[in-house]
Structure 1
Amino acid sequence: MSTARRSDGDLTKSKILEAAGQLIAQNGFAQTSNKQIAQAAEVDLAAINYHFDGRDGLYKAVLAEAHTHYIDEKRLLELVESSLPPTQKLEIFYEAIVNKLIEKDIWHSKVFIRELFSPSLYLHEFMANDGARKFQSVRKIISEVAGLDEDHPALLPCVLSTIAPCFMLIITNTNIPTPIQNISQIESQQLVKHLMTFSLAGLKAVKQEQEQLWSLGS
């Protein structure tokens, strides 16, 4: 197969994925037909089956693309395995995800919000595989920053406290009215600085608490 032919195939696949993401974000998966997607992508209907093995495969690809838009697994793994100081790893992670989360008028967040409020079997499958691997990488970074073993029982709440604000940013970047809507107006650098200050202080406090408990028990 020639390079030109492969490029055409990649372009067609990308057009289908983009059209599907936009339509599903607007109308939901059940209310979006393959015909609508093909028309929006300006491709033949059969191209969906060819590139994604059918409707289910396409939706799985949409979910994966939506998640990758915010957290790229390859780049995350490179960050985890780098020799950078743990706090710098966390800051780079925050910078990457915050810059994506404050983007306006993109379908990725809307698809993600739909799944959060009404989870499908596809999301369960994704979280058990791709999502689980990304979670392990983020947990490793937070483990290094906190100075706690990855299997330490105190680490999981630390991961929750560190990541949870990022999910709130997804909600503030939608048309859903919330008391914290104006957070999306704050500059990304300021948000990253706040998240770092808040997270580092919390992780330090947890570490000190665990050291005190260990000292009392020894």
Structure 2
Amino acid sequence: MSRPLRKSTAPSRTSRQDGDATRQQLLDVAGCVFAERGFADATSKEICARAGVNLAAVNYHFGSRDQLYEAVLVEAHHHLIKLEDMQAVAASEEAPRAKLRTILTRIVQRAAAPDAHWGARVVIRELLAPTPFAPALVHKAIAPKAKVMLGIVSQILGLPPDSPGLQRGLFFVMSPCLALLMAPPAMRQNVFPSLSDADGVVEDMLRYADAGLAALAAQYRKG
């Protein structure tokens, strides 16, 4: 008795892989275009032409140019540091301060890189001239990472995550990363050349933050 032939899954698997590759190609090219031109002036036509794909590809893979931009925003923030990487650090056996150092080091290394990835430029554009998609960036990228950071700093300070002192303290700790990201390369090179030393920057950030966090902890533990 002959056995029924089994259908091969190779074509569908290959098709899915090709689709994933096309989606990622669109995401990367769109990131470059949005970084260069901003949301208002970037067109699906230019993005598809530079990606070497059909004009319908944007709608097929993302639904619309708006949804493509939203995906680019989230991808841009993930380039600075991925949520999964932060969660892995938070779950590690490292001491809380060492966890903070690890995460700050990764962010500073990306923010201070001499050749900025398109993700940094997209985030800067969005911060300087927010679009209607800024809430999506906050909800999908910034808020989950802030939750991880609140947990780490909570361990350092001994304050609950909803403490005003803890929330403000985290904002003060992370603000230099934003400043470093937005500082023009010429300013970093010619005015503050020591900013090119990522390890040194992180260590001084931690020294500076330690004093401030300790003062906040002492103040808010009084209650």
User: What is the TM-score normalised by the length of structure 2?
Assistant: 0.87
Cα 1:185–1:153, aligned 2, differ >3 Å: closer, same or farther? closer
Contact 1:25-1:110 at 8 Å conserved across structures: yes
Structure 2 CA distance for aligned equivalents of residues 174 and 37 of structure 1: 27
- 1:166 matched to 2:177: yes
Equivalent residue number for residue 121 of structure 2:
110
Query: Structure 1 stretch 5-14 or stretch 122-131: which is displaced more?
Result: 122-131
Contact 2:77-2:141 at 8 Å conserved across structures: no
Query: Based on CA coordinates, which of the two structures has the bigger radius of gyration?
Result: 2
The count of corresponding residues between Structure 1 and Structure 2 is 212
Contact 2:188-2:195 at 8 Å conserved across structures: no
Structure 1 CA distance for aligned equivalents of residues 159 and 142 of structure 2: 22
- 1:9 matched to 2:7: no
- 1:96 matched to 2:106: yes
Task: Name which of 133, 137, 152 aligns with 1:141.
Answer: 152
Equivalent residue number for residue 50 of structure 1:
60
- 1:152 matched to 2:171: no
Structure 1 segments unaligned to the other structure (5+ residues): none
- 1:75 matched to 2:92: no
Cα distance, 1:33 vs structure 2: 0.8
**Match for 2:142: what amino acid?**
G
Contact 2:74-2:140 at 8 Å conserved across structures: no
Query: Sequence identity of aligned pairs in percent?
Result: 32
Partner-residue secondary structure (3-state), 2:199: helix
Structure 1 CA distance for aligned equivalents of residues 87 and 194 of structure 2: 28
